[in-house]
Amino acid sequence: MRSSTVLASLLACAALTAPIASQAGAASAYTYAYTGPQFTGGTAHLAITLTVPAKLTPSTTYSGLPPGTTGATITVATNAGATVFSVPLQIFAVSTDSAGNIASWFLFSDSNNLTPTFPSVGTDHQAYSINTLSTTVPIPGGVTGHYAYDQATIIIDYASCVGVSGCQLAGNGQPYVEPFAGIRNPASGTWKVTSKHHTGEDGGTN
């Protein structure tokens, strides 16, 4: 699966980063964790985590990670708990509901070492989750429609397909192999929020 026109339009958006809520007497850190459904026909899924110093602000749209965020990653994990790959979270676009729960999101990461010349050579890891089905909160990140799917790929680009098993040509003639590709559409993953040093919140769900 190569990047789609829909994905390209999603990456073109920009807005001001929203502030995080002030939480007097709250925990010292909150970890938001997303667990996606199993990819269709596969044995892996997306797992997204980030830790923030205060809960996300209710009824707010974010277009960037809140200040002080740590450990923001997108991981492709097998059902047995093994990691296929993990990349830092690059795009964080979410809208929260009146309780501060993440109700709509577009979360994306791409990590590669591709050479800049054509044909490129190297490996590209890409993963993202989008869910903009909610009609009660703004669609974040400039997304213009209602979608709900998780996707992840590993693509290895080569200078030539000669001697490369499973090699194929992209639309622009780029030789590549796709050793991993997973998608779930529609996807209905779940969010969980846990807190540190605040037992009343530990294990709470979003």
Q: In angstroms, what CA-CA distances link 180 with 42, 46, 121, 171, 191?
A: 10, 13, 17, 19, 25
Average pLDDT over residues 55-65: 97
- pTM of the entire predicted model: 0.83
Asked whether the predicted pLDDT for residue 197 surpasses 90, the reply is no
| Rounded Cα–Cα distance for residues 121 and 160 (Å) | 9
| Rounded Cα–Cα distance for residues 38 and 47 (Å) | 11
Average pLDDT over residues 142-152: 94
- Find out whether 158 and 173 touch, Cβ atoms under 8 Å: no
Indicate the pLDDT class of residue 28, thresholds 50, 70 and 90. confident
Indicate the pLDDT class of residue 6, thresholds 50, 70 and 90. very low
Asked whether the predicted pLDDT for residue 204 surpasses 90, the reply is no
Q: Which two tokens stand for residue 20?
A: 């995080």
Average pLDDT over residues 146-168: 98
When the pLDDT of each residue in the chain is averaged and rounded to a whole number, the result is 88
Digit-coded pLDDT (tens) for 66-114: 999 999 999 999 999 999 999 999 999 999 999 999 999 999 999 999 9
Beta-ladder partners of 126:
110, 153
Contacting residues for 83 by C-beta, under 8 A, at least 6 apart: 75, 76, 77
